[in-house]
Structure 1
Amino acid sequence: MKVLRTPDERFVNLPDYPFEPHYLEVDGLRIHYIDEGPREAAPVLLLHGEPSWSYLYRKMVPLLSAAGHRVIAPDLVGFGRSDKPTRREDYTYKRHVDWMHGVLNTLDLRQITLFCQDWGGLIGLRLAGEQPSRFARVVAANTFLPTGDQPPSEAFLHWQRMSQTFQGFQAGRVVKGGCVTPLAPEVVAAYDAPFPDESYLTGALQFPLLVPTRPDDPASEANRAAWEVLRRWEKPFLTAFSDSDPITRGGDAVLQALIPGAKGQPHTTITSSGHFLQEDKGPELARIINEFIAG
């Protein structure tokens, strides 16, 4: 497997991102993660999606660690400071899940509070379904766990098609387009930092094609198995979806209806926020997570 590694100088002096880098190795790949707060505390695991990286959580990490939590925010393989395989076939749904299982196992994370958004949920809900004993609770935001048994929304299909026809794909431009709040040019540039040129973008370009959209998708059976666990999930499960995301709109109602642990929880809609609600309302999300854990 040929792998690229973004030069460290691309990550110097990024705005509001003072965190020391941490690395571990899974299947020969170097994976970067933020690790803030007391090491002995129960972890809050923050999983990002497409085409962002742990920079997305910079507004939340300090507030969560200040509340006494250990905060772990990995960069998925192909993103951020993590290694980037160069061939599209190197990226599969199963491999993404297995790479993050490697993070959980290597760090031996237990009593996890999972916060997941976008592909962070497609991966994170699989992790919870496959290693439920490691998780104490889940907060899901603008995400879902598709099996392909139901047709995807037109909004998602439009994004999937558009993602493959971009001329000069720019991660920062995509994130900016998924926010309600205007992003400063230096923030947009920070989302582009992991990708010095197109050769580093293979994972970002492949991700939209890995979402199961038909019942016989290679990931469908494993997602159905995860759903079997989630349909019996009694641990606390909270939804915190935004009010302005056409791609995942209505997904919170599905999760609330199907997961027993969602019953009676203080589900919330984050107003004036788009798909990347961590950018739009990061401090509010951190407060919601802190209160959920305390409750």
Structure 2
Amino acid sequence: MQIDGHNIHVKQHGPDDGVPVTLLHGFPTSSEDWALVMPYLTDAGCRVTTLDFLGFGNSDKPVGHSYSLIEQATIVESVWAELGITTTALVAHDYGVSVGQELLARDSSRITRMTWMNGGLYPDLHRPIAIQRLLHSPVGAVLALAATERTFTASLRKILGRPVSDEILHEMWISMSQNNGRRVQHALLRYIDERRENKDRWQAALEKYAGPTLFVWGPADPISGGHVLERLRVRIPTATFTVLDDAPAAGHYPQVESPAEVGRALAEFLGSA
């Protein structure tokens, strides 16, 4: 789709008259992160929309662009408008949770139910790994160009709790690095600052949302793991929690590490929307 002069990669799966569901992916990968759970959602009767955010995956990655979570939320709304989606369930992971919070803050009535997965919902609890901190530093632009598939894979394995195949990690590398991807990584990481800037508004949107809420969480995630769950249980006591804590516990990418378990949890929650 052409959105504000940029090509945005969008897919839809499932029956045309199915329950509308939108999936928002994380940094630094793409909507392909949802591929392994997609059959569970379509079998449950969901009409699933995915997109690659600007700067990610198969969408445009303009160099020198000032990437913003606010802009990404507007892109999602534009995709909905093009597809005639008025209301939808929303599933958000990692980077996508901030886009989801912005969408809730704008108009929560459009979101029929909400699922959150391992993301920085509370900036003070977000613990970026060393490579993210370096990419976010003044040397980030240069460092990103020096990245290789080997260093990328090694960094990802540090945040996973359960085994993920080399093939899947290779596909993640391709989605990140293709089409000038390495040249925009430092700009995309501005999301760390935006989370702090919008903290009060986004936390209020999360905690005041009145619709059904599910958290699907990998507690072994060093970035947004079990330490986040403690606060969520206190602040949002009416939510449902699916914690992937059977040994070995899942980490930062539950939908990739444990697609069957995550797929079943999402299908049960979203298929009844």
Aligned pairs (5 A) from 1:228-243: 228-243=204-219
Residues 1:200 and 2:181 are matched in the alignment: yes
CA contact (8 A) 2:20 2:48 kept: yes
Provide the residue aligned with 1:266 in structure 2: 240
Aligned-partner residue type, residue 108 of structure 1: G
Call closer, same or farther: CA 1:219–1:278 in 2, change over 3 Å. closer
CA contact (8 A) 2:255 2:263 kept: no
Residues 1:255 and 2:232 are matched in the alignment: yes
Provide the residue aligned with 2:147 in structure 1: 168
CA deviation vs aligned residue, 1:196-220 (integer Å, no higher than 9, x gap): 56833233332333213xxxxx665
Tell me how far 1:95 sits from its aligned partner. 1.8
Secondary structure of the residue that 2:208 maps to in structure 1? Answer: coil
Residues 1:31 and 2:8 are matched in the alignment: yes
Secondary structure of the residue that 2:89 maps to in structure 1? Answer: strand
Distance 1:180 1:232 in 2: 31
Residues 1:80 and 2:68 are matched in the alignment: no
TM-score by length of 2: 0.83
Call closer, same or farther: CA 1:175–1:25 in 2, change over 3 Å. farther
Call closer, same or farther: CA 1:202–1:133 in 2, change over 3 Å. farther
Tell me how far 1:61 sits from its aligned partner. 0.6
Higher helix share: 2
CA contact (8 A) 2:98 2:202 kept: no
Aligned-partner residue type, residue 124 of structure 1: G
Call closer, same or farther: CA 1:232–1:183 in 2, change over 3 Å. closer
Tell me how far 1:245 sits from its aligned partner. 0.5
Residues 1:113 and 2:89 are matched in the alignment: yes
Aligned-partner residue type, residue 251 of structure 1: V
**Alignment partner of 2:162 out of 157, 181, 185:** 181
Secondary structure of the residue that 1:121 maps to in structure 2? Answer: helix
CA deviation vs aligned residue, 1:120-168 (integer Å, no higher than 9, x gap): 101112112212121111111111334x6x4x55x32635323334531
**Alignment partner of 2:172 out of 157, 176, 191:** 191
Aligned-partner residue type, residue 268 of structure 1: T
Tell me how far 1:221 sits from its aligned partner. 5.4
CA contact (8 A) 1:137 1:236 kept: yes
Secondary structure of the residue that 2:133 maps to in structure 1? Answer: helix
CA contact (8 A) 1:181 1:279 kept: no
Aligned-partner residue type, residue 98 of structure 2: L
Tell me how far 1:169 sits from its aligned partner. 5.1
Call closer, same or farther: CA 1:44–1:253 in 2, change over 3 Å. farther
Tell me how far 1:83 sits from its aligned partner. 1.0
Provide the residue aligned with 2:128 in structure 1: 156
Distance 2:178 2:212 in 1: 42
Tell me how far 1:93 sits from its aligned partner. 2.7
Secondary structure of the residue that 1:287 maps to in structure 2? Answer: helix
Identical counterparts, % of pairs? 24
What CA RMSD, in Å, does the superposition of the two structures yield over aligned residues? 2.5
**Alignment partner of 1:131 out of 104, 107, 128:** 107
Distance 2:262 2:86 in 1: 22
Distance 1:186 1:75 in 2: 20
CA deviation vs aligned residue, 1:67-120 (integer Å, no higher than 9, x gap): 110111211111111111111x42123222222222223223244221111001
Question: After alignment, is 128-137 or 220-229 more displaced?
Answer: 220-229
**Alignment partner of 2:23 out of 33, 37, 46:** 46
Tell me how far 1:39 sits from its aligned partner. 1.8
Call closer, same or farther: CA 1:159–1:192 in 2, change over 3 Å. closer
Provide the residue aligned with 1:145 in structure 2: 121
Question: After alignment, is 162-171 or 126-135 more displaced?
Answer: 162-171
Aligned-partner residue type, residue 104 of structure 2: A
Structure ranking higher on relative contact order (CA contacts 8 Å, 6+ apart):
2
TM-score by length of 1: 0.78
